[in-house]
Structure 1
Amino acid sequence: MTDISPHDTGSLPSPNGDGGSGATGEFVQQWRNAAYNCFSSGHKFCREVCPVMQVTRNESWTPTAFHANVVAMEQGELQLTDIADDYVNCTGCGACELRCPNTLFTGDFYRFRTRTVDLVKAMRALAVDQGIHQPGWQRWNLLTDERSHEPVLGEVPVSQDHVRDWSQGLDIPVGGESILFVDCEAAFYRTSVPRAVAQILRRAGYEFGLMNEQWCCGGPAAEMGYLEQSQRFARHNLDDWRAGGVKRVLVLDPHDYITFTEDYPKYFGEEYDIEIVLVVELFAEMIADGRLAPSVPIERTITYHDPCRLNKRKGIWQAPRQILSAIPGLTFHDVDRVTQWSYCSGGGGGLPIEKPELTARISESRVDKAAQLGVDTLVSACPWSERPLSEAGDAKAIDVVDIHELLAESLGIEVGGRRGQ
């Protein structure tokens, strides 16, 4: 496993740090320049697009505060124990990074982007390294370690024995050059989504299999600060891919996509040569070249919810709209300023686990914005966003539908499985 360089100003602190002031001092040195850049700027751009700030108005939970704390730690005004709890209040959406003046005014020329999401992850990892735990996150990761999958909120049984239950009756082989990785939320709770994806791939003649022993991707553990666990799970999955001759991994969940394209390369360096394919982009290509031809009209008035990890973090916003434009019968009302003000569901960054009430408020705000467009359906491409959005949508009589399921319906495919409601 490749070590993450301590000289990288955005790198996460080692889980084997020397503890006490030494580890904290090293952390401050890694992040001080970024912190001063933010602290000295003082703009409100980042605060006003932060989904947590929008519903709480708590200045201690803003991107500016997250950076200012590093300055205060360097000056000896704050200790890690004073501020660790504040860093729970971030969904990892990345809106602040896009709206930061340092990104807006220098990014195009210098290819620079403020890295608040990485700072939050690093601070959480430092806290765990120093024995400071959030109770919900600690329990979640202990259960994930025990079951090799995230426990998934609710009463759904989660274990290695059930990870492929969603594929019952589909006769999907194990192994092959291309495999479909199904995130824990979809594999155990929202099984209609992977069933839709698998059957659409079959319709297009795309050959794929499943992992021999799929574990959680490890991304949520890293987001909550449990870096050693994340790396251990990543090692297992990469070894499983290698043993099965896998060359490419198809992913339907944006959180997995971020983990496989950002975290795994940091962990493994040149050893990591797996191609990662986002299913939404693949389906858009298949529609464009005629391998998929949606023909069943779907009479709905919709808007699209951009998953933060696709739009804000990866700049992927066109492919899902290409899919929706190809489905007959839809009346599509898009949100304003798609590439700048993409909204958040509150379903990321471990927030639903530690503060479900805050996630609910953010989802309610998102559904309110959809209701203002006069739609009856909110379409998403992220299983983790669909649970809180569905709960908020019930109060507004707005149905929340996954884009893969919608495409399958227009292709005349009977999906089956659980929609998680």
Structure 2
Amino acid sequence: MSETEHPHPSPQHPSPQAAEFIADWRNAAYNCFSSGHKFCREVCPVMQVTRNESWTPTAFHANVVAMEQGELSVEDVAEDYVNCTQCGACELRCPNTLFTGDFYRFRTRTVDLVKKMRALAVDHGVHQPGYQRWNQLTDERRHEPVLNGTPVSQENVADWAAGLDLPVGGETILFVDCEAAFSRTSLPRAVARVLKHAGYEFGLMREQWCCGGPAAEMGYVEQSRRFAEHNLADWRASGVRRVLVLDPHDYITFTEDYPAYFGEDFDIEIVLVVELLARLIEDGTLTPSVPVEKTVTYHDPCRLNKRKGIWEEPRTVLRSIPGLTFRDVDRVTQWSYCSGGGGGLPVEKPELTARISESRVEKAAALEVDTLVSACPWSERPLAEAGQARDIDVVDIHELLAESLGLPVERPVERTDEHSADRSVKRPGTEGGA
């Protein structure tokens, strides 16, 4: 074999995809690596509970420097990038984001770096077992598996709406994420009842598939785009102009991934339900009147507070509910808070998600509250499990509002421990498969 033939990419001779990735991220990586401030570390939820410096934003950028220098390959570093919830706290704390001084000329985009590295790993055939199985099942079923073993199928995606008399199609539709549609069904039912109570007209999709965001977060970009193309085609076919979303993960996907896929052709208005409800309260359309006697604090979902700057509206909703004792924590302090429920972490490392949620609930317990309120169904599962040990309930803000409006809230009975995990998702160290 001649010296110029390299059938297997090596650190010194990266594949064309790896070379393009390095070229795209080289400046940002050196900018992070050379600054040395490391402000990002203590707000990183993974770093807080593991103290593993290989799993920090600084290390994620340093790996790119090492790849550019020919010291490491995609195969060497891919597994490190599992250890990220894509919460965005590191970006907020980085001086690059603040554009402080001449040195900082590149906005730090660690979330994008993690997503791109995971995608590069998939392109190189480097798969994380949990991610790979999760996305295989999502591709087969058109919806994500649910971690408590709830059956998932295309035929049952709208079963949550039974008896609510919701039309199909129309100018405005409600998109319900996989977790809520199949497992947390009391949440979309509460949202639908509140919107109908307000006289707000909306319908459902004809054939809803998963938003595709989780696939993109785990590196399966082609699958994500296929799902996006299906959903957009469905919206266009039924005249949809506006999509309501209750899950922050869907909101990120529809306002960031879909515009990236479709460019100016994506002209659908995306409305976050909690923002809509805050407006309806402020203009007097909704008036909560039933006292809810709870002492609560609010958990800012990472994808709202940190990544989208949405923090005022949920507090508007909570302060409108009579009977609540609201012990708030400012949004900047909450930049270091996380449930551990995002970025695919519960799929590959559920034990790490549990530790992060335990840390978050500990902070709530210090406020002497009986209830932790969130606005993200993906955060509520691990937070609720952590809350059991401290006798703290975890309640969704939409359901709390419905209760104060005098509307029924049908919280489901939890499945038994025997069915506590989706047996069809194979994780490292477990047996099973569909």
Tell whether the 8 Å contact from 1:280 to 1:320 is kept in structure 2 after alignment: yes
Q: 1:237 to 1:419 in 2, by over 3 A?
A: farther
Query: How does the TM-score come out when normalised to structure 2?
Result: 0.90
Amino acid at match of 1:265: P
Q: Residue 296 of structure 2 aligns to a residue in which SS?
A: strand
- Alignment of 1:370 onto 2:376: no
Alignment partner for residue 62 of structure 1, among 53, 56, 64?
Answer: 56
Aligned to 1:179: 173
Q: Provide Cα deviations, 1:305-354, integer angstroms capped at 9, x if missing partner.
A: 00000000000000000000000000111114536635100000000000
Aligned to 1:237: 231
Aligned to 1:14: none
- Alignment of 1:390 onto 2:372: no
Amino acid at match of 1:402: D
Tell whether the 8 Å contact from 1:311 to 1:339 is kept in structure 2 after alignment: no
Aligned to 1:167: 161
- Alignment of 1:50 onto 2:34: no
- Alpha-carbon distance, 1:281 to partner: 0.2
Q: 1:246 to 1:85 in 2, by over 3 A?
A: same
Alignment partner for residue 133 of structure 1, among 119, 123, 127?
Answer: 127
Alignment partner for residue 94 of structure 2, among 100, 118, 132?
Answer: 100
- Alpha-carbon distance, 1:420 to partner: 5.4
Q: 1:223 to 1:271 in 2, by over 3 A?
A: same
Q: Residue 180 of structure 1 aligns to a residue in which SS?
A: strand
Q: Residue 133 of structure 2 aligns to a residue in which SS?
A: helix
Tell whether the 8 Å contact from 2:43 to 2:336 is kept in structure 1 after alignment: no
Question: What value does the CA root-mean-square deviation take over the aligned residues?
Answer: 1.8
Q: Where does 1:1-16 land on structure 2 (aligned, <5 Å)?
A: none
Distance 1:163 1:237 in 2: 14
Q: Residue 34 of structure 2 aligns to a residue in which SS?
A: helix
Amino acid at match of 2:407: I
Distance 1:387 1:258 in 2: 20
Distance 1:200 1:111 in 2: 46
Tell whether the 8 Å contact from 1:152 to 1:188 is kept in structure 2 after alignment: yes
Q: 1:287 to 1:116 in 2, by over 3 A?
A: same
Alignment partner for residue 324 of structure 1, among 310, 318, 336?
Answer: 318
Alignment partner for residue 88 of structure 1, among 82, 88, 91?
Answer: 82
- Alignment of 1:334 onto 2:328: yes
Tell whether the 8 Å contact from 2:214 to 2:344 is kept in structure 1 after alignment: yes
Q: 1:304 to 1:172 in 2, by over 3 A?
A: same
Distance 1:158 1:29 in 2: 41
Distance 2:228 2:363 in 1: 37
Distance 2:105 2:324 in 1: 38
Aligned to 1:124: 118
Alignment partner for residue 343 of structure 1, among 326, 332, 337?
Answer: 337
Point out the structure with max Rg over C-alpha: 2
Amino acid at match of 1:349: G
Tell whether the 8 Å contact from 1:191 to 1:420 is kept in structure 2 after alignment: no
- Alpha-carbon distance, 1:298 to partner: 0.5
Alignment partner for residue 190 of structure 2, among 192, 196, 203?
Answer: 196
Q: Residue 230 of structure 1 aligns to a residue in which SS?
A: helix
Worse-matched range after superposition: 300-309 or 334-343: 334-343
Amino acid at match of 1:305: H
Q: 1:420 to 1:319 in 2, by over 3 A?
A: farther
Query: How does the TM-score come out when normalised to structure 1?
Result: 0.93
Runs of 4 or more off by more than 6 Å in structure 1? none
Tell whether the 8 Å contact from 1:308 to 1:342 is kept in structure 2 after alignment: no
- Alpha-carbon distance, 1:267 to partner: 0.1
5+ residue gaps in structure 2?
A: 1-12, 416-434
Distance 2:159 2:320 in 1: 31
Aligned to 1:15: none
